[in-house]
């Protein structure tokens, strides 16, 4: 709990002392949204022990649902965000029900292949989705009355609104992971046979993990639309699944803070390393291989094991 208060304090005051420019604030917002995505992803990987390579579908459906409602239906912002999250939820339940017939890496391969269906649907349905050009022409984003704040071109307002939503989402995920359901998820990960012998329907537990992961991935996608005010088709391409996997593993699976750290490191590499090094993917890929081989617990996992007290304070 101390850690959460600390996080709230740091994030709440960040615009005051951070090198305050709209650019950096936008970057910080993006890092936090991707951190939420990576945390949602980690509900499956770190807690339920399911390796998914199909999260591009969940985040992408979330992003496009929100984007389409805003741009084509001129719907108000809040219901559109919620619809994005629900879109992610529905997608993940459908996809999960299909792929959970298999396990392990075989399942991973299926999530990847099935998630590409969504990419091709967006690609083919150009009149509605904008195809390869992405979905643009979003109206000016404002919160509904009584607040009525304008988000477009106001990085600080946008930052605080997005941070508040993410903070609530993280609290919800934390609560779910500490609930009996979260414990059963970890039991299924640790020893599926035994969990089944204890009377748990392991497939249903994993489907629940898919649903939680899908809902918050969809929310992350919806927020991404708000942050970028645009939906690039890359948001639903399977590269997104790879990106979130790298972020979750960089930061450390099974931790609450790790996915945010991982998202920060990845976006730092993408935006700053690439300024000096044209071929930055060599370093991302290389660092990824090294982390998997030598630091499988990731950055936060490593810190937690070296300084056990940090886990108590931060998680």
Partner 1 sequence: MNGCILILVALGLSIVFGLMGIINFAHGVFYMLGAYAGWLTVQLTGSFWLALLTAPAAVGLIGILVERGVLRRIYGTRNASFAGVLVTYGLAIMIPDLVRMTFGRPGKPFAAPAILSGSLFQLGATDVHAYRVFILLVTATLLPLLWFLLNKTNLGLVIRAGTSDNLMVQLLGINVARTWTITYALGAALAGLAGVITAPLVAVAPEMGGLVLIECFIVTVVGGMGSFLGVVAGGLLIGETLALTGMLYDVFADVVIYLAMALVLLVRPRGLFGQEGMSEE
Shorter beta-carbon distance to partner 1: residue 71 or 100: 100
Among 153, 292, 305, 307, binds partner 1 (CB under 8 A): 292
Among 74, 117, 168, 198, binds partner 1 (CB under 8 A): 117
Among 106, 268, 272, 307, binds partner 1 (CB under 8 A): 106
93 interacts with partner 1 by CB under 8 A: no
Among 10, 113, 168, 198, binds partner 1 (CB under 8 A): 113
User: What is the token pair recorded at 246?
Assistant: 């790298």
Calpha distance 74→77 (Å, rounded):
9
141 interacts with partner 1 by CB under 8 A: no
Shorter beta-carbon distance to partner 1: residue 198 or 282: 282
Calpha distance 58→110 (Å, rounded):
15
- Nearest to residue 103, comparing CAs of 220, 196, 242, 239? 196
196 interacts with partner 1 by CB under 8 A: no
101 interacts with partner 1 by CB under 8 A: yes
Among 1, 199, 293, 306, binds partner 1 (CB under 8 A): 293
Calpha distance 37→213 (Å, rounded):
9
Shorter beta-carbon distance to partner 1: residue 136 or 285: 285
Residues 212-251, one symbol each (x = binds partner 1 by CB under 8 A, - = not), give --------------------------x---x--x---x--
User: What is the token pair recorded at 73?
Assistant: 């239906």
As a residue count, the chain comes to 315
User: What is the token pair recorded at 125?
Assistant: 């349905």
From the CB of 241, what's the least distance to partner 1, in Å? 10
From the CB of 282, what's the least distance to partner 1, in Å? 4
From the CB of 125, what's the least distance to partner 1, in Å? 10
Long-range Cβ pairs for the range 305-311 (8 Å, 24+)? 311/255
Tabulate helix, strand, coil % of the chain (nearest 5): 80, 0, 20
9 interacts with partner 1 by CB under 8 A: no
Query: Cα 9 from chain centroid?
Result: 22
Size of the site for partner 1 (CB under 8 A): 36
Shorter beta-carbon distance to partner 1: residue 120 or 268: 120
Residues 22-51, one symbol each (x = binds partner 1 by CB under 8 A, - = not), give -----------------------------x
User: What is the token pair recorded at 169?
Assistant: 């989402």
Q: How many CB atoms lie within 10 A of CB 242?
A: 16
Calpha distance 55→87 (Å, rounded):
13
DSSP-derived secondary structure for 82-132: HHHHHHHHHHHHHHHHHHTTS-HHHHHHHHHHHHHHHHHHHHH-HHHH-GG
Shorter beta-carbon distance to partner 1: residue 3 or 242: 242
- Interface residues with partner 1 (CB under 8 A) are 51, 98, 101-106, 108-110, 112-114, 116-117, 120-121, 123-124, 238, 242, 245, 249, 279-282, 284-286, 288-289, 292-293, 296
């Amino acid at each position: 709990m101390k850690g959460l208060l600390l996080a709230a304090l740091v994030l709440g005051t960040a615009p005051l002392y951070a090198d305050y420019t709209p650019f950096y604030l936008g970057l910080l917002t993006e890092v936090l949204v991707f951190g939420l995505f990576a945390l949602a992803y980690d509900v499956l990987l770190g807690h339920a022990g399911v390796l998914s390579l199909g999260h591009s579908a969940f985040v992408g459906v979330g992003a496009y649902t929100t984007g389409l409602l805003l741009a084509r239906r001129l719907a108000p912002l809040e219901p559109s965000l919620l619809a994005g999250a629900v879109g992610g939820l529905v997608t993940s339940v459908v996809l999960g029900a299909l792929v959970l017939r298999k396990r392990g890496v075989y399942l991973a391969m299926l999530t990847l292949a099935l998630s590409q269906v969504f990419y091709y649907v967006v690609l083919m349905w150009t009149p509605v989705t904008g195809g390869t050009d992405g979905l643009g022409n979003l109206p000016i984003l404002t919160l509904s009355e009584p607040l009525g704040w304008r988000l477009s071109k106001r990085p600080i307002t946008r930052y605080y609104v997005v941070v508040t939503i993410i903070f609530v989402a993280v609290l919800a995920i934390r609560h779910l992971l500490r609930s009996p359901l979260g414990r059963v998820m970890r039991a299924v990960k640790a020893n599926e046979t035994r969990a089944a012998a204890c009377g748990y329907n392991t497939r249903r537990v994993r489907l629940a993990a898919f649903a939680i992961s899908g809902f918050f991935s969809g929310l992350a996608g919806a927020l991404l639309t708000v942050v970028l005010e645009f939906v690039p088709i890359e948001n639903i391409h399977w590269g997104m699944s790879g990106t979130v996997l790298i972020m979750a593993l960089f930061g450390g699976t099974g931790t609450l803070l790790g996915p945010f750290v991982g998202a920060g490191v990845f976006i730092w590499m993408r935006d700053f390393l690439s300024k000096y090094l044209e071929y930055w993917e060599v370093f991302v890929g290389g660092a990824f291989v090294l982390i998997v081989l030598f630091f499988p617990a990731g950055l936060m996992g490593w810190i937690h094991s070296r300084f056990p007290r940090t886990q108590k304070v931060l998680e």
